Amino acid sequence: MSAEHVKIITTNRRARFEYHVEDKVECGIALTGTEVKSLREGSAQLSDAYAIPKGHELWLLNAQIPPYKPAGPLQNHDPKRTRKLLLHRREIDKLQE
């Protein structure tokens, strides 16, 4: 996908006001099917979200992706579950320095 077709789904605007952001890191998030569908509808909240390293992995906590309504309660995800951030190991090591 080219850069001109990339759609930003959500940003954490509050972080820029409350913290001094030194570096920006772009990474992926491991999601389930209903989370992807919910994000495509444009509903997500990152205002209380933060990332922590565990071993050689980076995890996103407190990011809220609401349930996908057409899926029903049995097939849906936990809205505040911990999600794995997808970065190369050298990028994670650089952040931990």
Split at pLDDT 50, 70, 90, the class of 2 is low
Q: What is the pLDDT of residue 95?
A: 86
Q: What is the pLDDT of residue 83?
A: 94
**What b/e readout covers 21-43, taking b as 16+ CB neighbours within 10 angstroms?**
eeeeeeeeeeebebbebbbeeee
pLDDT in tens, 4-25: 777 777 787 887 788 888 888 8
Q: What is the pLDDT of residue 90?
A: 92
| pTM higher than 0.85 | no
Contacts 24+ apart (CB under 8 A), 34-41: 34/67, 34/68, 34/71, 34/75, 34/76, 34/77, 35/65, 35/68, 35/77, 37/68, 37/70, 37/71, 38/65, 38/66, 38/67, 38/68, 39/9, 39/10, 39/65, 40/9, 41/68
Q: Which domains does the chain show, CATH number per domain?
A: 3-96 (2.40.280.10)
Q: What is the pLDDT of residue 1?
A: 52
Q: How far apart are alpha carbons 53 and 41 in whole angstroms?
A: 29
pLDDT in tens, 43-82: 888 888 889 999 889 999 999 998 888 877 777 788 889 9
